[in-house]
Amino acid sequence: MKLFEHEAKDIFRNFGMPTPPGGVARTPEEAKKRAEEIGKPVVVKAQVLTGKRGKAGGVKFADTPEEAAKVAEQILMMRINDLPVEAVLVEEKLDIAQEIYAGITIDRNERKYVVIGSSAGGMSIEELAAEQPEKIIKRYVEPFLGFQPFEAREMTIAMGFKGKDISKLASFFLKLWKIVEAYDVELTEINPLILTKDGRFLAADARLNIDDNALYRHKDLIEKLKREPVEQNERERRASEEGMAYVELDGDIACICNGAGLTMATLDAVALHGGRASTFLDLGGGADAERVEKGIEIALMYPKVKAILINIMGGITRCDEVAKGIVAARKEKGIDVPMVIRMVGTNEEEGQKILNEAGIPFLSTMEEAASKVVELVKEVS
């Protein structure tokens, strides 16, 4: 479950973490009122469950309440990464001396939480890792000990801070860890964590993702938020309703398979042949023709998709049903991107016959299919 910035900051404040003064607004008039209450220049930020909103124009500054209302109106009319902006957060504009990154997530390879800090905040941690890896400081958390105060201090010293700033900044890392423990957090970060020119540290941003599998332990939080967990976008919502596992990636090849292991292997095969997946879509077991058709429809809703790779290992999923779904989707949806199909297993021959009659080619191995779909994407790019 992903929390909006203002929801995460409410939790941060409950744990004693300072944030800039401000409040949520859902109309330009409310934004003006918030700015009047602050009485200083403000920043107006789109409240959406996605990143890079600043680059999309979802963060704007205003010197007066009237200007705050104007920019709030502009932001509330936006869609960022295909998500509508339904609220903005109006906060005091800070006098910044330095932007810092602080976060905690799970390193599944190490099977531990990892605390991450950097003196170069303000940019995504992925970009920072690629461009300035030496500025990223990490500490793995021993599960039976938790994150210790001395480790937090060591991190801040390694980040280049001195004197009283060491304990001030260390307290942010320790409070983040307490939030992780209290809420079964998968990811939390502050980017940027601001050091102001008058020596204050403030959480200017807040990101908090709670493990969906632990939500039964946090019903009080859901009740307090007065909403159910929000999916990122319409595509994810549709897939969730259909019981499909769906994850969006940065590539352009939609991978539709049955079973999480096969889907992951298909993504790897695409990468091995020089392609990049746009979509992880697991139809699940026993997918019939209608489910396959819906899966293709959901995958095609993602604008980045330039080709579709369907890789099916028939067991309780029958290949003839998959073929019927593919034929129906191509006929009814007017598919204008290349499709590559590989399916083996239950009713394999019947499925291949259906595809042959419809003039749809298919391949025998995952490697051939991955190579072919990458080749087709290069041709249309």
Domain(s) labelled CATH 3.40.50.261 in the chain stretch across: 234-380
228 pLDDT higher than 90? no
90 pLDDT higher than 60? yes
User: How is domain 234-380 classified at the CATH fold level?
Assistant: Rossmann fold (3.40.50)
- Asked if 101 is an active-site residue, the reply is yes
* Calpha distance 279→263 (Å, rounded): 10
What's the mean pLDDT in 83-101? Answer: 95
Domain(s) labelled CATH 3.30.470.20 in the chain stretch across: 96-225
For the domain spanning 96-225, the CATH number is 3.30.470.20
> Helix or strand or coil: residue 31?
helix
What's the mean pLDDT in 125-145? Answer: 90
- Asked if 140 is an active-site residue, the reply is no
Domain(s) labelled CATH 3.30.1490.20 in the chain stretch across: 21-92
Please tell me the predicted confidence (pLDDT) of residue 294: 94
Both tokens of 96, joined, read: 């910044």
| CA atoms within a 13 Å half-sphere pointing along the CA-CB vector of 286 | 2
Where residue 318 falls among pLDDT bands split at 50, 70, 90? very high
284 pLDDT higher than 90? no
Please tell me the predicted confidence (pLDDT) of residue 232: 58
**Which DSSP letter does residue 141 get?**
P
Both tokens of 272, joined, read: 């091995």
Please tell me the predicted confidence (pLDDT) of residue 54: 87
Please tell me the predicted confidence (pLDDT) of residue 150: 97
Beta strands, E only, the chain: 2-3, 22-25, 42-46, 59-62, 79-80, 83-84, 88-92, 96-107, 112-118, 136-140, 185-196, 201-203, 207-210, 245-248, 253-257, 277-282, 307-314, 339-345, 362-363
Which CATH number among 3.40.50.2300, 3.30.2130.10, 3.30.1490.20, 3.40.50.450 corresponds to the domain 21-92?
A: 3.30.1490.20
Both tokens of 133, joined, read: 């890896």
- The overall average pLDDT reported for the chain is 93
229 pLDDT higher than 60? no
Cα of first residue to Cα of last residue in the chain, in angstroms, is: 36
pLDDT tens for 24-78 read 999 999 999 999 999 999 999 999 988 888 889 999 999 999 999 999 999 999 9
Q: Are 85 and 60 in contact (CB under 8 A)?
A: no
The catalytic residue among 7, 189, 231, 348 is: 189
* CA 24 remoteness from chain centre: 22
CA dihedral over 174, 171, 98, 90, signed as positive or negative = positive
Where residue 343 falls among pLDDT bands split at 50, 70, 90? very high
The catalytic residue among 101, 113, 246, 302 is: 101
